[in-house]
């Protein structure tokens, strides 16, 4: 029996009719930014954060309303009390600057309208909110045409409608298929998409929870948890981008990562001994295959004890890291949360002496087996434990480690349930609870401690943390990879909608194990996966100990040449990719986007799961089947330019394009400006003195713009204003192109000295080119492509056309 069948059986036993439901409103009170409603046996608060974000909290069975949020919610000052409240015979009406809420008084029902009177969202007509013993639940109506996105790391298509999903972090080693659930991350954020009125619901509950999105054909969706409070946020769009961005006001945006972490990462379970790592380093540099990071899996440790080194395998890790650093490669080491129960092991001694470990109510320390054998587990809900854990990072950073990879932190354990006993207690700084409450937060809190420890010990360098487990808000502390995938073709296909929905759920910095973790890859599979990986936010090749090698050169020169080409392409795009990461850090809008985010009125994009956008201008269509030299894809309305051939296509239709092994289809939206840079072997290898500004002209839409962010890529100096923001704009008319450069912020000494201007799809001969009023004599023009170089200090280019 697979996991989805198990869940559906659980659903059928959890009948909606068994719940106590909210009945009629008895009375209410308005105070500041909230409306408190009293019912028989229950109370409810509606609390406004903004004119179109509000929070709903229910208490039942004599409890008081609990406004305490999980750690996923950031500290914010969002409050809105400028609403108009009206009472009528049958309903209460609340009007904000953006929304109108109607609350039915007799049989409670919440409806949300926009200012034009269009219904955006409503509770189910038969029951809205309810409880059953410790369980809490909400029921919501939806139209059959509605789409559902989000929910983080989930398998299946882009549209999540028609299935039941479980939020319970789980070490899922069995092969991941289209209905495998749950996986390692729990992100209880759902987006209901409508081209005119989209909204999001964030369910702030860390207990095991479920989202049933019409799994039995019902005309409603529901979400519930096995404990805790019914506490959710309604986030109005109306656009999909606005929903995602406003969600980040609740759970935060990612910090700006170190630029090197956006390069190519090489990993294996495991690289050892030290001589093998040194040979790996030499091979990458001799072959001039770009790489920025090596990952060290558990075999570097002494008997798998965390924060130790096996002296036989790695006699001098500090010297090894120094050599790596000289060659531009950063070290990332794996850490598991289990601490071996060895009385001579310093970490175990410290944990026992200071009461750092998870315990049962009777005081017994929880012990279970993971890689080192019997282990105790830190109680990351305690601030003193997180401070201790944060301090452990310094020993590694002093050696030269630049990043930490947190694994097995669901937490995983080698027992029948694959995790910690749910009756274990967590102290939580005086607000104690069982593991049922804190299971989904365990990895999140470990990542928080790791990030803060690295930030402190690396002085002014930005940390890199990678995690397998997490909860909503994990983007504030860590990148995420999707765990133990397989060397299956289907896993390339499976990855795309999973990563896109993770991006819609706040997690921009995500990726898969390129080539597959388990099983044997092959040259064609690794090539096609690397092509996709070059445009995925986190780009790492990783496989397990039993698998054959899958480094870029492992399958012969034919494949190596193509793989190298696409890793180099990643670095050619790195200025643009870093710029998109900056945008994500500011707005929450992900780098890797489903097409529906950019083309919300195009029905063909609503469940398009095997293509994606990189930002708003680059369309990528990976090949995910063997023996294919063509690819069917969809281009939305407008003109599109083949990145490789510069051929122009009219969108709004499906087409079949050539896709031999050496080519992954990439299209650029006409009207876009795309900065590209020279080849690099690693980030910071050399100054990028000349930046290509590629302008893909569009006669039908004659305006284009691009805003470029630039800083040192490593330090926190940007927080003190040490960065540049430059805006590029052009206007294309019948007889000229005017290109303006506006330096909005200029507080950083950038490395670019020149711009190489490349105007693609120029159908008229250039007659004269003027740079800040001075005529330019040197330029080239052929095949509708105009090229010339100008210094970065200029302000205006005028191109006169025939």
Backbone angles phi, psi at 578, to 5 degrees: -60, -40
Q: Positive or negative, the Cα torsion across 286, 291, 292, 296?
A: negative
* C-alpha distances in Å from residue 236, one per residue of 113, 129, 584, 733, 797: 10, 20, 19, 39, 42
Distance in angstroms (rounded) separating the CA atoms of residues 640 and 655:
12
Of the candidates 159, 407, 452, 551, the residue annotated as catalytic is 407
The helix/strand/coil state of 679 is: coil
The helix/strand/coil state of 449 is: helix
> Do 251 and 72 form a contact (C-beta atoms < 8 A)?
yes
Question: What single DSSP character describes residue 190?
Answer: E
* C-alpha distances in Å from residue 86, one per residue of 55, 69, 107, 128, 235: 19, 29, 18, 21, 22
- Going by their DSSP bridges, the two strands 736-746 and 780-782 should be labelled as unpaired
> What are the structure tokens assigned to 466, written together?
């990678």
> Do 226 and 16 form a contact (C-beta atoms < 8 A)?
no
Find the length of the chain. Answer: 802
Residue 212 a catalytic site member: no
Long-range pairs for 784-787 at CB < 8 Å and ≥24 separation?
A: 784/646, 784/760, 785/646, 785/758, 785/759, 785/760, 786/757, 786/758, 786/759, 786/762, 787/756, 787/757, 787/758, 787/759
DSSP 265-310: EEEETT--SHHHHHHHHHHHHHHT----EEEE-GGGSBTTBTT---
Residue 286 a catalytic site member: no
Q: Environment class of residue 704 by beta-carbon count within 10 Å: exposed (0-12), middle (13-18) or buried (19+)?
A: buried
Distance in angstroms (rounded) separating the CA atoms of residues 133 and 568:
57
Distance in angstroms (rounded) separating the CA atoms of residues 532 and 624:
9
Distance in angstroms (rounded) separating the CA atoms of residues 673 and 731:
12
Distance in angstroms (rounded) separating the CA atoms of residues 61 and 513:
47
> What are the structure tokens assigned to 417, written together?
């349930």
Of the candidates 410, 447, 524, 598, the residue annotated as catalytic is 410
Distance in angstroms (rounded) separating the CA atoms of residues 287 and 680:
13
Backbone angles phi, psi at 530, to 5 degrees: -65, -35
Residue 395 a catalytic site member: no
Of the candidates 166, 368, 484, 692, the residue annotated as catalytic is 484
> What are the structure tokens assigned to 760, written together?
């693609």
What is the rounded end-to-end Cα distance, in angstroms, of the chain? 70
Long-range pairs for 576-580 at CB < 8 Å and ≥24 separation?
A: 576/614, 576/615, 576/618, 576/674, 576/675, 576/676, 577/262, 577/537, 577/614, 578/259, 578/262, 578/709, 578/713, 579/675, 579/708, 579/709, 580/614, 580/615
Backbone angles phi, psi at 557, to 5 degrees: -65, -35
Q: From edge to edge, which strands make up the β-sheet containing 129-132?
A: 20-21, 129-132, 135-141, 220-225, 209-212, 164-167
Cα Rg of the chain (Å, integer)? 27
Distance in angstroms (rounded) separating the CA atoms of residues 40 and 24:
8
Beta strand ranges found along 401-447 (DSSP E): 401-406, 425-426, 433-434
Distance in angstroms (rounded) separating the CA atoms of residues 713 and 729:
25
Backbone angles phi, psi at 284, to 5 degrees: -60, -45
Residue in 266, 265, 274, 268 with CA at minimum distance from that of residue 311: 274
Distance in angstroms (rounded) separating the CA atoms of residues 625 and 661:
11
Residues involved in catalysis: 407, 410, 484
């Amino acid at each position: 029996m697979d996991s989805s069948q198990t869940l559906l059986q659980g659903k059928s036993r959890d009948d909606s009719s068994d719940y106590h439901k909210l009945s009629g409103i008895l009375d209410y009170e308005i105070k500041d930014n909230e409306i408190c409603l009293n019912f028989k046996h229950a109370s409810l608060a509606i609390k406004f954060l903004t004119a179109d974000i509000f929070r709903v909290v229910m208490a039942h069975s004599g409890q008081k309303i609990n406004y305490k949020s999980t750690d996923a919610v950031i500290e914010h000052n969002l409050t809105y009390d400028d609403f108009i409240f009206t009472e009528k015979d049958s309903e209460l009406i609340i009007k904000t600057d953006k929304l109108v809420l109607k609350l039915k008084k007799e049989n409670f029902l919440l409806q949300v309208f926009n200012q034009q009177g269009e219904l955006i969202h409503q509770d189910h007509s038969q029951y809205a909110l309810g409880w059953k013993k410790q369980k809490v639940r909400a029921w919501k109506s939806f139209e059959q045409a509605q789409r559902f996105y989000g929910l983080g790391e989930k398998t299946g298509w882009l549209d999540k409608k028609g299935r039941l999903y479980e939020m319970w972090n789980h070490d899922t080693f069995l092969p991941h298929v289209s209905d495998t659930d749950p996986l390692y991350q729990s992100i209880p954020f759902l987006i209901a998409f409508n081209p005119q009125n989209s909204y999001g619901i964030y369910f702030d509950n860390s207990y095991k929870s479920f989202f049933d999105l019409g799994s039995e054909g019902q005309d409603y969706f529901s979400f519930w948890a096995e404990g805790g409070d019914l506490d959710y946020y309604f986030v109005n769009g109306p656009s999909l981008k606005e929903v995602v961005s406003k969600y980040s006001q609740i759970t935060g945006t990612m910090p700006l990562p170190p630029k090197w972490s956006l390069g190519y990462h090489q990993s294996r379970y495991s690289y050892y001994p030290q001589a093998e790592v040194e040979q790996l380093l030499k091979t990458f540099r001799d072959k001039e295959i770009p790489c920025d990071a090596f990952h060290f899996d558990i075999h570097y440790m002494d008997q798998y004890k965390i924060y130790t080194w096996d002296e036989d395998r790695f006699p001098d890790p500090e010297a090894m890291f120094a050599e790596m650093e000289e060659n531009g490669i950063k070290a990332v080491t794996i850490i598991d949360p289990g601490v071996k129960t060895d009385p001579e092991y310093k970490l175990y001694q410290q944990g026992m002496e200071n009461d750092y470990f998870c315990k049962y109510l009777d005081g017994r320390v929880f012990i279970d087996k993971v890689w080192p054998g019997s282990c105790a587990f830190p109680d990351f809900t305690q601030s003193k434990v997180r401070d201790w854990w944060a301090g452990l990072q310094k020993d590694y950073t002093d050696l030269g480690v630049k990043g930490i990879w947190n694994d097995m932190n669901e937490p995983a354990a080698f027992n029948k349930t694959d995790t910690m006993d749910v009756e274990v207690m967590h102290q939580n700084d005086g607000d104690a609870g069982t593991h049922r409450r804190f299971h989904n937060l365990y990895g999140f809190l470990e990542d928080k401690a790791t990030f803060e420890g690295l930030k402190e010990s690396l002085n002014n360098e930005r940390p890199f943390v990678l995690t397998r487990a997490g909860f909503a808000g994990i983007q504030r502390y860590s990148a995420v990879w999707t765990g133990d995938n397989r060397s299956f073709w289907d896993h390339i296909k499976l990855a795309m909608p999973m990563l896109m929905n993770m991006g819609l759920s706040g997690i921009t910095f995500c990726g898969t194990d390129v080539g597959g973790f388990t099983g044997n890859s092959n040259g064609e599979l690794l090539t096609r996966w690397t092509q996709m990986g070059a445009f995925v936010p986190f780009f790492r090749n990783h496989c397990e100990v039993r698998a054959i090698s899958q480094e870029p050169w492992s399958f012969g020169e034919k494949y190596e040449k193509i793989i190298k080409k696409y890793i180099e392409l990643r670095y050619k795009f790195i200025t643009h990719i870093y710029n998109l990461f900056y945008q994500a850090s500011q707005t929450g809008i992900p780098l890797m986007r489903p097409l529906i985010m950019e083309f919300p009125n195009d029905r063909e994009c609503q469940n398009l799961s095997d293509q994606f956008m990189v930002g708003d201008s680059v369309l990528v269509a990976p090949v995910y089947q063997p023996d294919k030299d063509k690819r069917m894809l969809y281009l939305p309305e407008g003109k599109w330019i083949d990145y490789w051939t510069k051929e122009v296509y009219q969108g709004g239709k499906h087409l079949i394009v050539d896709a031999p092994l050496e080519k992954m289809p990439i299209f650029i939206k006409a009207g876009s400006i795309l900065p590209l840079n020279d080849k690099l072997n690693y980030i910071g290898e050399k100054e990028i003195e000349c930046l290509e500004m590629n302008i893909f002209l569009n006669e039908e839409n004659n305006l284009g713009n691009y805003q470029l962010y630039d800083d040192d890529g490593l330090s926190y100096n940007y927080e003190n204003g040490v960065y540049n923001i430059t805006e590029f704009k052009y206007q294309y008319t019948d007889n000229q192109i005017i290109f303006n450069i506006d330096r909005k912020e200029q507080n950083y000494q950038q490395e670019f000295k020149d711009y190489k201007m490349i105007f693609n799809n120029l159908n008229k001969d250039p007659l004269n080119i003027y740079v800040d009023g001075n005529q330019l004599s040197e330029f080239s023009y052929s095949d509708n492509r105009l090229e010339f170089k100008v210094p970065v200090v200029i302000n205006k280019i005028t191109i006169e056309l025939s």
